[in-house]
Every structure is written in structure tokens, then in C-alpha cells.
Structure 1
Amino acid sequence: MRVLWISGLVILLDQSTKLLVLRTMYRGQQIPVLGDWLKLTFTENPGMAFGITPGPTSVVTVFSMLATALIVFYLYRVRHDYYPYRASLALILGGAVGNIIDRVFYGDTLLFGKVVDFIHVNIWSGFLPESIPVVGGMYISLFPIWNVADMAIVCGVAGIIILHKKCVRYAHEREGSDMEKDKEEKTTETPEAVFERGVSIKE
């Protein structure tokens, strides 16, 4: 699986930046980078990406480990498929492992850690149009705080969506190429090889 270097690079960048934040910033500290639009804000997330918390921290950690194991298994299954598609999977794998390291080791006890987030992006804030049912007129502020691992996961998912059709086409072309190769090998067999194959079948 020649794409695992991508996962390793993601993990290295993710953990390096998180350790830098842990050693140089205090929780809740904000450092403006591009005004109010982009800041470094140190926060700890007990849930999943973008603050989503589907359950207790230990449950999230175990679920993440199982999902990561499935990604590794699937990467092995598609190890001969379209390279950019496998690279997208490697990005997701690296991001998942990066956040798992936080959940396992960045807490008082194992499996109860929190993910270090610090990339603070103010995407949009304002009132929703009154024409929207139920939520119309509500004030919404979209300011996700994430990390390198989350970025890798998002890029990987986007890559899979974009490259899915091309990957399927590549798999069909590869299958057809293998069939043609087998066909050529059969047609180029010498009479002696055919005779020997027939004798071995009878035996």
C-alpha cells in the first residue's frame, strides 16, 4: 500500500501542530491571523470533527478505532485501484489516526482524552431569511474550530466523491485489460505447452 506515506505525513503534521499549541497557548486563547476571519483558538473537543458529540468520549474513541480498522482493510482491498482514489483514503486514515491519538493519550486516563482544535474559521454569521421554514429569522454563526487531521478527512472525503466515477471506470478498464492479457497468453501457447497441460489434467 504505497499511499501510506500520505497517512504518515498527515499524522506527523497533525501531532506536531497540536503539540506546538499545547506548549505555547492556553485554553481559550485567540491569536488573529487574518483579522476575525481566521484565528488560532485553542480549544479541546471531546467529540468528533467540528464539535459533533454523538456519545461519551470512550464510545467515540472505540468507534473511531473500529472505523479506522475498516479503512485499513478497505485500503488493502483496493491496493491496485486508481492511485488518487487510494490517496484520498490515505488522507482520511491519517486524519482518523491523528485524532485517535488525542483521544487515547491527551486525557487524564486512556480513551478519555480530548481532541486539540485550533484552526478557527469564521465562515458566516447573520440572520437566516424569514422564508426558510422553522429556522427563518434565526441568528446563525458558523465558526468551526478544527485541526490538520480534520482538514485531511474533509479533503479525503471530497476526493472520494469527486474521483468515484473515475475509479469505477479505471477498475473496469483494468479488468478488461487483464482479460485481454489472459486471452493473448492462451492464444500464444505453443503446441508443446498445450499438450503438457492436457497431460497434467488427465493425471
Structure 2
Amino acid sequence: MKKFVIDKKSIVFYLISIIGILVVDQLTKVIVEASMQLASSHTIIDKFFYFTYAQNKGAAWSMLEGHVSLFILIGFVAGIGMIFYFLKTKENEILTRFGLVLAFAGMIGNVIDRVRLGYVVDFIDFIILGYDFPIFNVADMALVIGLGLVILEVLLEGRNNG
């Protein structure tokens, strides 16, 4: 079995990334809560991009609303899974490692909201080609981009091995 290898420079980079995402995520949410009324919206780019204050009391798209304890537990289990998967990565799996760091930071950001408030603060609102996407936040972006990087590396690795 190959030993997990990571240099100190990478550890520092990953920790700074996690802390940076958490700070930006929590700071933007505090600013939104302090400066906007629930359900109010500010136009950034008309008919395309808005800041709309929403409280998500469920999972994605408010599914399973009202089960805060379940989402905190799922976050805890997912966090352990991400750490375990990270420790199983190879040194050259850079996209997977950074993807897991992003996803972990995003998950922590939303768990902090659930523990602190009982809901997740969302505010980034896009309408693209007439479709009003679900409102999201910085933590959600980190989570989605992170998982996208993991999937991308898996696909690239499969392509290179196939």
C-alpha cells in the first residue's frame, strides 16, 4: 500500500484555501443578512444577475425542509468521507485533491449556517435564457466547483487509461 504523500507547501495552500472560502462565504452571508430584508432583491445585471436574500431550510432547492439535524449529520459524515478520500489520493491527483478541499470548505460553510441559524443563507440569483436558477451562495459554488474538479479528473484519468 502506497503511503499518503503531501508536502508542507500544499498543506498550507489547502488550509489557506479552506479558511479563505469560509471567510468569504460567512462574511458575504453576514453582509446580506445585515443589509437586506428576506426575499428582497437587488439588480446587478437586469434580467440576468441579482442578489436575492433567501433562507434555505432544506437541502438543494429546499428539499426536505425542516430537517436541520439530518443535514448537520450528513455534513459531518460527508466531511469524514471527503477527508478519507483525500487521504487515499495519489500525489499526482491534483484536481481531485483541490476539488475535495473546495467541496469540504463549501460543506463546512453551509453546516456553520445550519448550526448557527437553522437555515442556509443564499443570495446569488441568476436568470439564464429565461430559467431562474435556484438561489445559492459562495459555499455552494465551492462545493459544486470542487465536485466538478473531482469528476473531471476521474474522466481524464479514465480517458488516459482507456
Question: Scaled by the length of structure 2, what TM-score is found?
Answer: 0.82
Post-superposition offset of 1:38: 0.6
CA–CA distance in 2 between the matches of 1:92 and 1:99?
Answer: 11
Question: What letter matches 2:20 in structure 1?
Answer: L
Per the alignment, do residues 81 and 167 of structure 1 end up closer, same or farther by CA in structure 2, a change over 3 Å counting?
farther
User: Would you say the 8 A contact 2:57–2:66 is kept in 1?
Assistant: no
User: Would you say the 8 A contact 2:57–2:65 is kept in 1?
Assistant: no
Find the counterpart in structure 1 of residue 103 from structure 2. 92
Q: Where does the alignment leave 5 or more consecutive residues of structure 2 unmatched?
A: 1-5
Between structure 1 and structure 2, the one with the greater Rg is 1
Matched, 1:114 2:104: no
Post-superposition offset of 1:168: 6.6
Aligned residues: 150
- The more displaced of 70-79 and 21-30 is 70-79
Matched, 1:101 2:138: no
Question: Can you list the C-alpha shifts for 1:123-146, whole angstroms capped at 9, x where unaligned?
Answer: 243xxxxxxxxxxxxxxx433100
Per the alignment, do residues 72 and 87 of structure 1 end up closer, same or farther by CA in structure 2, a change over 3 Å counting?
same
**Partner-residue secondary structure (3-state), 2:85:** helix
Question: Can you list the C-alpha shifts for 1:100-153, whole angstroms capped at 9, x where unaligned?
Answer: 0000011xxxxxx1000000111243xxxxxxxxxxxxxxx4331000011111
Post-superposition offset of 1:51: 2.8
Question: Can you list the C-alpha shifts for 1:136-190, whole angstroms capped at 9, x where unaligned?
Answer: xxxxx433100001111111121112111445799x9xxxxxxxxxxxxxxxxxx
